Amino acid sequence: MKKIKWPLLAFAIGAAICMMGIGVAVAERSMFGIILAIIALVLVMGYGFKTKKKMREEGSL
């Protein structure tokens, strides 16, 4: 049975929330919101991939 990698799950949920934020900002026609959500998405996904690489190198993945 595989164990759940909680940090990676948290990053995935965070990225999904950022994507939903982009949709809400588009619906609200808020250019500031769109840009903010895209920046947040890039940061969350980037940090998630960085964490995954670190876990893989440590052998905990």
Supply the pLDDT for residue 18.
Answer: 97
Domain membership of residue 32 (yes or no) is yes
Domain membership of residue 17 (yes or no) is yes
Q: What's the structural domain count of the chain?
A: 1
User: DSSP string covering 1-60, please?
Assistant: -PPP-HHHHHHHHHHHHHHHHHHHHHHHT-HHHHHHHHHHHHHHHHHHHHHHHHHHHHT-
Domain membership of residue 12 (yes or no) is yes
What confidence tens digit (pLDDT) does each residue in 6-54 have? 999 999 999 999 999 999 999 999 999 999 999 999 999 999 999 999 9
| pLDDT confidence band for 1 (50 / 70 / 90) | low
Supply the pLDDT for residue 59.
Answer: 86
Domain membership of residue 1 (yes or no) is no
Domain membership of residue 47 (yes or no) is yes
Supply the pLDDT for residue 25.
Answer: 97
Domain membership of residue 11 (yes or no) is yes
What is the extent of the structural domain holding 10? 6-58
